Amino acid sequence: MAQEIPYKIYLEEKEMPRAWYNLRADMKQKPAPLLNPATGEPMDAAGLGKVFCDALVAQELDNTTRLIDIPQEILDFYKMYRPSPLVRAYCLEKKLQTPAKIYYKFEGNNTSGSHKLNSAIAQAYYAKAQGLRGVTTETGAGQWGTALSMACAYLGLDCKVFMVKCSYEQKPYRREVMRTYGASVTPSPSDTTEVGRKILAEHPGTTGSLGCAISEAVECAVTNEGYRYVLGSVLNQVMLHQSIIGLEAKAAMDRYGVKPDIVIGCAGGGSNLGGLIAPFMGEKLRGEADYRIVAVEPASCPSFTRGKFAYDYCDTGRVCPLAKMYTLGSNFIPSPSHAGGLRYHGMSPVLSQLYHDGYMEAVSVHQTDVFAAAEEFARVEGILPAPESSHAIRVAMDEAIRCRETGEEKTILFGLTGTGYFDMVAYQKFHEGQMSDYIPSDEEIAASLEKLPKVR
Amino acid sequence: MAQEIPYKIYLEEKEMPRAWYNLRADMKQKPAPLLNPATGEPMDAAGLGKVFCDALVAQELDNTTRLIDIPQEILDFYKMYRPSPLVRAYCLEKKLQTPAKIYYKFEGNNTSGSHKLNSAIAQAYYAKAQGLRGVTTETGAGQWGTALSMACAYLGLDCKVFMVKCSYEQKPYRREVMRTYGASVTPSPSDTTEVGRKILAEHPGTTGSLGCAISEAVECAVTNEGYRYVLGSVLNQVMLHQSIIGLEAKAAMDRYGVKPDIVIGCAGGGSNLGGLIAPFMGEKLRGEADYRIVAVEPASCPSFTRGKFAYDYCDTGRVCPLAKMYTLGSNFIPSPSHAGGLRYHGMSPVLSQLYHDGYMEAVSVHQTDVFAAAEEFARVEGILPAPESSHAIRVAMDEAIRCRETGEEKTILFGLTGTGYFDMVAYQKFHEGQMSDYIPSDEEIAASLEKLPKVR
């Protein structure tokens, strides 16, 4: 097609996807089921229904329905901040002097600052539809908590957020954004839950962890009438909701007859990566097209590249179902010097299965390289990226530089998941040369993996 | 027109304006010229050329050319973050149960977080085209400094920002965003300039003011070879560049056959308001259409509603030209309890003349009412607004509520200039009930106005 490609491609409202795409329907080898941590048996709808609301349980367990209609109220909410732009990175291409064509799908143009809102509104909607009073969740850096607060404010649903204590203290702005949206924000571990009190007794002065905040949020949900727990990543349902990212990206590229050679996304729990790659991976699974699909993770939390594909606990308090995934062990906590997010010890079971079956690649990158890419990107493309997103930027730039060397005109698509406005402390460390690269030793990872649960 | 109006209207890239609209060309009574503070004579191009770069001086003095072509390099930069969306506030309408139709032009979807980037790139471009090494400026809350840093990074131009000291200390994130874009950021007053040293000697321990930072930035520009000073508001050239806001808004409305009855914008120095209203005011001046045009300012810094239309100093150090404008006196500093921005003592000469001639209205609002509107807006429309922008939200909501009472189906357009991510300390004060409304006394304003310069 000779048509000139604009800097930004926005789908029209009427072109927006009206159904999510369930990648599992096209997977020959389905992701392993969640297991009951007490019995080791697969979780059924009744068991999951104590923690999650019913419609989401159905989505969690549905491995066969390819397209799931997006309810009208969610579509209406999506229209407030979607479609997100697919950006042709002309300025970055010029800066890198590469023949590669670089595109990114930018999910940061909403107040939560990331793609998390795509699943937050879906989960809040189904909770509301079930007549619940509210939802509970955990948040680390705060993107997910912010997104959920926004969704709940919109629907008039109560929202209780357990925020990892060190983030609560170091990111007061994030906390206030959530409060602006009417959420209650509790630093975790707290004395409001049994598991929190237990952790505080065992580790006085702890600054908390994501795994610990998850345990508190789950306890809070199951012990409060009319509440359920919601989670921003890892789960199958989240991959489903986030498919909106990839569906829009593909529709925008199709409009101009463009096909990516490489699709790149950062991976913590997998919510962005799973969403971005969904329709491309679908074509690959069905044998209709081939794409290189690359997951990028921090070298300081390398679950794909150095973890084990096994059943593991999802939380510190071990109250959640077990998931089969690439994991570093539920006790693994990245070094405090790590500032780039993507800190979760495990990975989406869907993505884990696909990686295990050879459908995608994974690479890990050092954080100083990530921040260098972030700064270079910010200066030419204007957008200040989140550290998480900058993992994908780093690898996209590396691929484009390789094209400069080989002369190949590859088309690269990456996910720019969000903005870094609340991460300026990390940027400051980088500017002042005080950021270090930490790589866990083999012994450290092995020690953490020793504590995997025993599953038949 | 029966066509359904989407939540967000994006112009296509090819529909974007290719020329700025110079409102002065349609004003019968032109804005008064800038005067040399030493001689009281109108500033000519040679005089202004010592402070501003040549092309911008020409734009500053041009009262007759109606359309001024936007250079291609600026158009290319605009494509990175423009067109900005014109949003139909369906959710806010529903919340207010109003028959009014509310639209807002949202300028916050870029990393500087506001409309300031529209003029920053223009001013940086012309400085670069003149072969300059760099530019100097001041910044208060930091939106303008961030925007200029981004524009300079893109063009490879040096950028020296004097940041009001209390902001420098209270807004470290803002400072780091500017540094990410390679700007040098100096807390003002500083010992790097003569005027700074003088102010520090007279007022040791001062936390600075915008007027003082302007003086330092101007001195820095005129004493450094290859530098010029740039300013983010007040000037005629800034109104010109910001006309892109109104031109896009009008084109988007025209596409659906919509005409606003009321156009509302917040007003500090006037950059957003002047830009938003430009094409509407143009039709009004030419007698082609009529619109109610409303400026909204803080009750704690009420230059339109309680100031005097007179020549005044633009800065504390009195090194800048004098401007004829609505002013509270150059010594006027809003109460420290004021957190909503829009703190400048004066107002754009273009807007001042139009207000004086009866072409627009002005209202002032209390800051607790402004933050209440901000929070309500955030919860239903999803966007966390800047306090500045929330002045316009307040009045738009008030007008919509009035329509609910009268049953009128008015069409309201307001400018949503930016996002409030760096203003969470102010939001926190509001949440905690620690925000007060300060209104300067008549005596306070009169005392400040006593020190206006004597001009024939």
Nearest by Cα to A73 from A50, A51, A55: A55
Looking at residue A456, what is its pLDDT?
Answer: 67
Q: Are A71 and A42 in contact (CB under 8 A)?
A: no
Cβ neighbours of A180 in B, within 8 Å? 375, 378-379, 384, 427, 431
In three-state secondary structure terms, A322 is strand
Q: State the ipTM, two decimals.
A: 0.92
Is residue A34 a contact partner of residue A48, using CB atoms and an 8 Å limit?
A: yes
Helix (H, G, I), strand (E, B) or coil at B348: coil
Same domain, A119 and A107: no
Q: What is the Cα–Cα distance from A305 to A355, expressed in whole angstroms? A: 10
Contact indicator for A379, B153 with CB cutoff of 8 Å: yes
Same domain, B193 and B281: no
Select the more confidently predicted residue: A149 or B3: A149
Closest CA to A149 of A173, A189, A120, A192: A120
Which of B6, B76, B427 lies nearest to residue A180, judging by beta carbons? B427
CA nearest to B85 within chain A: A81
Could you tell me which chain B residue has the CA closest to the CA of A86? B80
Q: Does B198 touch chain A (CB under 8 A)?
A: no
CATH number, domain at B125? 3.40.50.1100
* Subunit contact A173:B176, Cβ cutoff 8 A: no
Mark yes or no for CB contact A80/B180 under 8 Å: no
**B104 vs A: CB within 8 A:** no
Distance from C-alpha of B153 to C-alpha of A302, rounded to nearest angstrom: 33
Bigger pLDDT: B352 or A210? Answer: B352
Interface check for B386 against chain A (CB to CB < 8 A): the answer is: no
Residue A311 pairs in a beta bridge with A324
Q: Between A338 and A97, where is the model more confident?
A: A97
B251 part of contact set with chain A, CB < 8 Å: no
Within-domain flag for A7: no
Partner residue facing A424 (CB), from B81, B173, B425: B173
| Cα distances (angstroms) measured from residue A288 to each of A170, A285, B244 | 48, 8, 45
- Shortest distance between the Cα of B153 and any Cα of chain A, in A, equals 5
Number of C-beta neighbours around residue A337 at 10 A: 13
**B204: three-class secondary structure by DSSP:** coil
- Kindly report the nearest CA distance between residue A49 and chain B, in angstroms: 29
B1 inside domain? no
* Min Cα separation A23/chain B (Å): 29
Q: Name which of A7, A111, A381 is nearest B383 (Cβ-Cβ).
A: A111
Among chain B residues, the shortest Cα distance to A423 is held by B173
The answer to whether the CB atoms of A91 and B80 lie below 8 A apart is yes
Domain contains B295: yes
Helix and strand numbers, DSSP H then E, in chain B: 18, 15
Angstrom distances, CA of residue B147 to CA of A88, A426, B129, B348, B363 = 22, 21, 19, 20, 28
d(CA A219, CA A192): 10
> Do the Cβ atoms of A421 and B181 come within 8 Å?
no
Contact state of B80 with A7 under an 8 Å Cβ cutoff: yes
Dist. CA B168–CA B186, nearest whole Å: 8
Q: Which of A115, A127, A146, A316 is nearest to A233 (CA)?
A: A115
> How distant is the Cα of B53 from the closest Cα of chain A, in angstroms?
24
**pLDDT of the residue at A1:** 44
Domain boundary among A173, A195, A229: A229
Q: Mean pLDDT per segment of 10 residues, for chain B of length 456 residues?
A: 83 96 98 94 95 97 98 96 97 97 97 96 98 96 95 97 91 92 96 95 88 94 96 97 98 97 97 98 98 97 97 90 96 86 94 98 98 97 96 98 98 97 93 93 96 87
Q: What residues in A contact B80, CB-CB < 8 Å?
A: 7-8, 91, 381-382
A48 and A138 share one domain = yes
B378 near A CB under 8 A: yes
In this structure, are A107 and A179 located in the same domain?
no
Within a domain: A445: yes
Nearest CA in chain A to B14: A6
Give chain A positions within 8 Å (CB) of B3.
none
**Which of A295, A288, A301, A350 has its CA nearest to residue A327?**
A301
Interface test with A, best of B9, B149, B155, B424 (most A CBs within 10 A): B424
Pair A46, A152 in one domain: yes
The answer to whether the Cβ–Cβ distance between B110 and A382 falls below 8 Å is yes
Look at A150 and B382 and tell me if their CB atoms are within 8 Å: yes
> Do residues A166 and A206 make contact, with C-beta atoms less than 8 angstroms apart?
no
Tokens of A99: 């023949």
Does residue B156 sit at the A interface (CB-CB below 8 Å)? no
**Contacting residues for A324 by C-beta, under 8 A, at least 6 apart:** A31, A32, A309, A310, A311, A312, A349, A352, A353
Strands (E), B140-282: 158-164, 184-188, 227-229, 262-266
Pair A89, A25 in one domain: no
Sequence-distant (≥ 6) Cβ neighbours of residue A212 within 8 angstroms: A164, A188, A189, A195, A196, A199, A206, A315, A316, A317
Nearest to B176 among A10, A91, A428 (CB): A428
Residue A156 sits at the chain B interface (C-beta within 8 Å):
no
**A residues 1..60 contacting B (CB < 8 A):** 6-8, 10, 12-13
Give residue-wise pLDDT tens across range A401-416. Answer: 999 999 999 999 999 9
Between CA A443 and CA A243 the distance in angstroms is: 37
Q: Is A136 exposed, middle or buried (0-12, 13-18, 19+ CB in 10 A)?
A: buried
Q: Is residue A103's pLDDT more than 90?
A: yes
Asked if A111 is an interface residue toward chain B (Cβ–Cβ < 8 A), one would say yes
- Residue of A103, A106, A180, A421 to mutate, interface with B, max B Cβ within 10 Å: A180
Give the closest-approach CA distance of B27 to chain A in angstroms. 36
Scanning the structure block, which residue is given the tokens 């009268």? B406
Closest to A112 measured CA to CA, from A161, A43, A75: A161
Q: Where are the beta strands (DSSP E) in B201-317?
A: 227-229, 262-266, 292-298, 308-312
Does any CB of chain A come closer than 8 Å to the CB of residue B169?
no
Q: How many CB pairs under 8 A join A and B?
A: 124
Which residues of chain B lie closer than 8 angstroms to A107, CB-CB? none
Establish if B7 belongs to a structural domain: no
pLDDT at A131 over 60: yes
The shortest C-alpha distance from A64 to chain B (Å) reads 33
Number of structural domains found in chain A = 2
Residues B259 and B357 in one domain: yes
Q: Is residue A373 part of a domain?
A: yes
Nearest CA of chain A to the CA of B89: how many Å? 9
Closest-CA distance, A181 to chain B, in angstroms, reads 6
Which of B10, B109, B427 faces A176 most closely, judged by CB atoms? B427
For residue B172, which residues of chain A lie inside 8 Å, CB to CB?
424, 428
Q: Residue B109: its chain A contacts at CB < 8 A?
A: 109
Query: Do residues A181 and A136 both lie within one domain?
Result: yes
Q: What's the gap in Å between the CA of B298 and the closest CA on chain A?
A: 21
In a domain, B408, yes or no: yes
Instruction: Answer yes or no: are the C-beta atoms of B112 and B150 closer than 8 Å.
Output: yes
My answer on whether A174 and A194 are in the same domain is: yes
Whether A130 is covered by a domain: the verdict is: yes
Enter the tokens of residue B260.
Answer: 């606003």
Same domain for B326 and B273? yes
Q: Find, in chain B, the residue whose alpha carbon is nearest to that of A109.
A: B109
- Do B99 and B197 lie in a common domain? no
**Beta-ladder partners of B340:** none
> Mean pLDDT in chain A?
95
Q: Which domain-ending residue is among A213, A229, A245? A: A229
pTM score, whole prediction:
0.95
Q: Residue A424 and residue B172: Cβ atoms within 8 Å?
A: yes
- Domain edge (last residue) among A229, A248, A270: A229
Distances (CA, A) of B389 to A412, B98, B334, B392: 38, 21, 18, 6
B138 and B279 housed in the same domain: no
Contact A140, A386 (CB under 8 A): no
Task: Find, in chain A, the residue whose alpha carbon is nearest to that of B419.
Answer: A111
| B176 lies within 8 A of chain A by CB | yes
Element (H or E) spanning A59, and its range?
A: helix A54-61
The range of the structural domain enclosing residue A48 comes to 19-70+115-229
Task: For chain A, say whether B75 makes contact (Cβ under 8 Å).
Answer: no
